């Protein structure tokens, strides 16, 4: 799938479930026409952890296959991933730019009563 046109913002949060740490990543961006769908964050896979501790993601979507309106539209993708021990932040790539966010402190989860 092609990358979206531009990424405007990225939010991250970490949390633990049964002792396993996860990172939730959400990106907001833009596409150049109507008709885009199925937005996702596609993580890079590393044989060796990156030296900077930043995990990269492509912000992808399904481009329209037929006629589309020539108007900039919003795009949103979120994903939850198991957090590697080396992770210090995330970088989300679009066609025209990328945005990087460092990991803050863990968000406590409340269990349902």
Which pLDDT score is estimated for 105?
58
Residue 70's Cβ-count burial label (10 Å; 0-12, 13-18, 19+) is exposed
In a domain, 110, yes or no: no
Q: Are 9 and 78 in contact (CB under 8 A)?
A: no
Q: What is the extent of the structural domain holding 46?
A: 6-102
Which pLDDT score is estimated for 112?
46
In a domain, 112, yes or no: no
In a domain, 91, yes or no: yes
In a domain, 83, yes or no: yes
Q: Are 2 and 61 in contact (CB under 8 A)?
A: yes
Which pLDDT score is estimated for 104?
74
In a domain, 97, yes or no: yes
Phi-psi region of 53 (alpha: psi -120 to 50; beta: other; left: phi over 0): left
In a domain, 111, yes or no: no
In a domain, 1, yes or no: no
Whether the pTM exceeds 0.75: the reply is yes
Which pLDDT score is estimated for 107?
52
Report the number of distinct structural domains present in the chain: 1
Taking only the tens of pLDDT, the chain with its 113 residues reads 999 999 999 999 999 999 999 999 999 999 999 999 999 999 999 999 999 999 999 999 999 999 999 999 999 999 999 999 999 999 999 999 999 999 975 555 554 44
Q: By C-alpha distance, which of 6, 13, 2 is closest to 40?
A: 2
In a domain, 66, yes or no: yes
């Amino acid at each position: 799938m092609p990358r979206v046109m531009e990424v405007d913002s990225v939010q991250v949060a970490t949390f633990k479930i049964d002792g396993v740490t996860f990172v939730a990543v959400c990106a907001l961006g833009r596409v150049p026409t109507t008709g885009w769908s199925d937005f996702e964050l596609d993580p890079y896979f590393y044989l060796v952890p990156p030296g900077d501790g930043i995990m990269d993601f492509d912000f992808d979507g399904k481009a329209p296959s037929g006629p589309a309106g020539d108007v900039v539209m919003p795009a949103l993708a979120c994903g939850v991933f198991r957090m590697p021990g080396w992770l210090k932040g995330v970088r989300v790539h679009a066609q025209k730019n990328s945005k990087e966010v460092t990991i803050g402190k863990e968000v406590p989860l409340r269990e349902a009563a």
